[in-house]
Amino acid sequence: MNTQQKKLKAELIEDVTADNFAPSQRNNQIKNNAFDYSTPSSVQSLIRQRVNSIYDSFVMTKVGQYQDMGIYKALIDSLIAGPSRYIVAIVPQDSAPMSSEKMLSSLRWVSFQTRTTENIAKEFNGIQVYPQQYRITTQNNITDPVNLIEEKRSHFLYLPENLPVKIEVLKLKEDDSFARKGTVSSALELYQTVLTIEN
């Protein structure tokens, strides 16, 4: 990975939490754009709604099963050269047959991932899927700040300031490095990211 690529990755995860945002501005921005998470019973649903809103109308295909967990994936239509991008939703207590297609918004996922692959057929278990498009807008951008908590051998662990989720940015190369601060959306856009809802 060259210096320019490293710089790009570092900048991708750093946006509204940049140092030029004063604390008062940052808190106002969070207050204006974030959901109310004060009701514990609705927190998980609201997190799903916010992530799902980025990939609005996405159809997910069940490509795997691990114990009681259904593994649903969708291929991203990308103009960027290199590995193909896809998203993953892990759904507990799922008994739908393989190749089932469901709207992302209908899945009660507990883990959401943005990943890349060099082998679409293998990643999707030989099931034919078609690329789908999305666009991040001011309405669906998840600007909640995240902070680097720990660097581990396999990933960087980030925790948001106001959401009960953990975000792991996977190390695809030994020298991968990322900014200490960012947002949920900018972390997802790295396409080496696992977001897990905490109970």
How does pLDDT run across 53-73, given as a tens digit for each residue? Answer: 999 999 999 999 999 999 999
- C-alpha 108/C-alpha 105 separation (Å) is 8
- What count of other Cβ atoms lies within 10 Å of the Cβ of residue 194? 19
- C-alpha distances (whole Å) from 155 to each of 48, 132, 158, 166, 169 are 23, 27, 10, 12, 5
The low-confidence residues of the chain, meaning pLDDT below 70, are 1-41
- Contacts of residue 126, defined as CB under 8 A and 6 or more positions apart, other chains included, come to none
- C-alpha 55/C-alpha 94 separation (Å) is 21
Check: CB of residue 159 under 8 Å from CB of residue 149: yes
Burial string for 65-98 (b: 16+ CB within 10 Å, else e) reads eeeeebbbbbbbeeeeeeebbbbbbbbeebeeee
